[in-house]
Amino acid sequence: MNQHEQNQLRCGVVVLVSGRGSNLQAIINAVRSGRLPAEIRAVISSEPGAPALARARTAGIPTYTIDHREFATREQFDQALMRRIDACNPRAVVLAGFMRILGNAFIDHYAGRLINIHPSLLPAFPGLNTHARALQSGASHHGASVHFVTHEVDGGPIIIQAAVPVLPGDTPETLAERVLGEEHRIYPLAIRWFLDGRLSVEGGRVLLDGQQRPEQGLTHQETAHSDTPETG
Ligand code: NHR
Ligand code: GAR
């Protein structure tokens, strides 16, 4: 196998979306600027007409819609998704605002290479409506978590988190926007770590270069910035 073929095996990514696609856009931008050595082989949406699909097309990435409403069962939807993904032979499968809970057969099939970004500081606020729930709780900080996906929804090992302050007068929308800025920073970085083979999981915790990062569970702007020059 030559170098090019090895890279192809190493760097293929499929992104699953359901909506706006701003995280997809951050990943596309990171690939374009050379910060993320990846090949986005396909973007697959569970929702016809998701704005994320237009972003992918604009970037020249093949798009597919697998509308969950067209399947009688969740298992059948998952199977259709798996067939489409496997045709792309990706190294990593990345959920970016993907809104359908995936069944165990799907999770097992992609174990160790399925990654999600969730808009809260897990384990706080798994599930939906995280920003409103964070505000309601009176928390001083909120944020986002990138994690490996396991059977337990939003419960898999955490790769990186970033925190933002909750500010006086915040609404779910203003808080979401502040969190989103951090999502766009940490997701390409986490995917890069994964594709570079720098992540491992031991005892349910993620190691970077074989080390448990002392900041795990907290924001760590230093690490992120030293690896990833900010491009705005
Ligand atoms: N699947 C598994 N097995 N494990 C995880 O950790 C998953 C997952 C699928 C999606 C993303 C997650 C998030 O980051 C995610 C993680 C959707 C729901 C949900 O309740 C919950 C968590 C996440 C995504 N979805 C409803 C459902 O019935 C539909 C909601 C809707 O369409 O608006 O699937 O938050
Ligand atoms: C992001 O905040 C992402 O973390 C969250 O939805 C938003 C999608 O935005 N994901 C979930 O809530 C998954 N259930 P985007 O489509 O612009 O990336």
Task: Give the tens place of pLDDT for each residue, 170-187.
Answer: 999 999 999 999 999 999
Catalytic residues, by residue number, are 118
Of all protein residues, the one whose alpha carbon is nearest to atom 17 of ligand 2 is: 22
Query: Is the Cβ atom of 118 under 6 angstroms away from ligand 1?
Result: yes
Ligand 1 center from residue 226 Cα (angstroms): 32
| Residue ranges of the binding site for (6R)-10-formyltetrahydrofolate | 74, 99-102, 116
Of all protein residues, the one whose alpha carbon is nearest to atom 8 of ligand 1 is: 101
Which pair of tokens denotes residue 203? 């005892």
Distance CA 120, CA 130 (A): 6
Residue 223 has pLDDT above 50, yes or no: no
Ligand 2 center from residue 94 Cα (angstroms): 12
Ligand 1 center from residue 93 Cα (angstroms): 15
Listed range (5-19, 70-84, 117-131) with the worst mean pLDDT: 5-19
pLDDT at 213: 79
- Paired strand residues for 39: 12
Residues with CB under 6 A from ligand 2: 19-23, 52, 96-97, 99, 117-119, 180, 183
Q: Could you tell me the fold of the domain covering 118-227?
A: Rossmann fold (3.40.50)
pLDDT, average across residues 90-109: 98
Q: Which-ligand-closest: CA of 100?
A: 1
Residue with the larger pLDDT of the pair 100 and 227: 100
Percent of the chain clearing pLDDT 90 (strictly above): 87
Whether 1-110 shares its CATH topology with 118-227 is answered yes
**Residue ranges with strand state E in the chain:** 12-17, 39-45, 63-65, 92-95, 114-118, 141-148, 158-165, 199-202, 205-208
pLDDT at 221: 42
pLDDT band at 106 (very low <50, low <70, confident <90, very high): very high
The domain ranges of the chain are: 1-110, 118-227
Distance CA 203, CA 106 (A): 22
Of all protein residues, the one whose alpha carbon is nearest to atom 30 of ligand 1 is: 99
Query: Is the Cβ atom of 102 under 6 angstroms away from ligand 1?
Result: yes
pLDDT at 2: 72
Q: Which conformational region is residue 48 in: left (phi greater than 0), alpha (psi within -120 to 50 degrees), or beta?
A: beta
Ligand 2 center from residue 4 Cα (angstroms): 33
pLDDT, average across residues 104-120: 98
The tens digit of pLDDT for each residue in 149-177 reads 999 999 999 999 999 999 999 999 999 99
The CATH code that applies to domain 1-110 is 3.40.50.170
Of all protein residues, the one whose alpha carbon is nearest to atom 2 of ligand 2 is: 119
| Residue ranges of the binding site | 21-23, 74, 99-102, 116
pLDDT band at 1 (very low <50, low <70, confident <90, very high): confident
